[in-house]
Amino acid sequence: MSDALLMMDGVTKVFTTDEVETHALAGIHLNLKRGEYVSISGPSGCGKSTLLAILGLLDSPSGGSYILNGRPVQDLKLAERARIRNREIGFIFQAFNLIGDLTVFENVELPLTYRGMSGAERKKRVLEALERVGMSHRIKHYPSQLSGGQQQRVAVARALAGDPSILLADEPTGNLDSQNGEQVMDLLRELHRGGATICMVTHDPRYAKYADREIHLFDGRIVEESKEAPAA
């Protein structure tokens, strides 16, 4: 059995508005192995966010194939895509996307409520995830009572609680100062060492070097891949 968690072959994405076609992705070939940590970088408008949206089943490709966990997913119906997203993919966003009137515990628990999971199992998963990111002492706090770095840690815990096959991180340090950014990157590196598969979009070359493999996009194409020893 292949150790590839996901495989993209010839993936394209074309947006059409007022008879103008924009080719956001042009023939993407990408394999990601289980336990790998990959960063995707490139200039603004190069297709990074579009690629991440397709990887996360938030959007569909215009052409090509996408296989996740051995299953073609490019043509699935919306309900099935949502089901797979909820179980297979953990999202970490630049803007945290926490719900202001829910506590830390409730924010992390929310995605699990859609699985028909027992309350006891949800509680166990939430507490374990918050412990992993060092936020178990804040379970009764609300997002407004946390720093940006703490909010991002809660967002990481929310992604982890579902035990996803892959973590997709979209500019996870974009809204943080350098100190908090470094702490979140250290957390992701720690999760990777624990076996997590991570695909991260970043514009910051310092953080791209934390990954096992750097992928550079330009005009919707992969123009370079590099493997480097992760940053110390």
The one-letter code for the residue type at 48 is K
pLDDT of 229 strictly over 70:
no
For residue 73, pLDDT over 50 is answered with yes
- Quick one: how many helices (H) and strands (E) in the chain? 7, 10
pLDDT on residue 232: 44
Residue 202, CB-side half-sphere exposure with 13 Å CA sphere: 25
Determine the straight-line distance between the first and last CA of the chain, rounded to whole angstroms.
33
Find tokens 């089901």 and name the residue.
Answer: 83
Q: Does residue 33 have a pLDDT over 90?
A: yes
Cα–Cα dist 96/177, whole Å: 14
- Residue in 220, 211, 217, 170 with CA at minimum distance from that of residue 191: 211
Whole-angstrom distance, CA of residue 232 vs CA of residue 230? 6
Give the CATH class of 4-227.
alpha beta
pTM of the model: 0.88
Parallel, antiparallel or unpaired: strands 89-92 and 213-218: unpaired
**Closest C-alpha to 93, from 53, 37, 143:** 53
Query: pLDDT at position 204, please?
Result: 86
- Report pLDDT for 140: 96
pLDDT score of 24: 92
Nearby residues of 186 by Cβ (< 8 Å), 6 or more positions away: none
pLDDT of residue 26: 93
Q: What is the pLDDT of residue 2?
A: 59
For 83, list phi and psi in degrees, rounded to 5. -65, -45
77-100 pLDDT, tens per residue?
Answer: 899 999 999 889 999 998 889 999
- Backbone dihedral angles phi then psi of residue 191, each to the nearest 5 degrees: -65, -40
Contacts of 112 (CB under 8 A, 6+ apart): 121, 122, 125, 126, 161, 162
Positions of E strands within the chain: 4-17, 20-33, 37-41, 63-68, 71-72, 89-92, 166-170, 198-201, 213-218, 221-227
Phi-psi category of 48—alpha, beta or left, where left has phi over 0 and alpha has psi -120 to 50? Answer: alpha
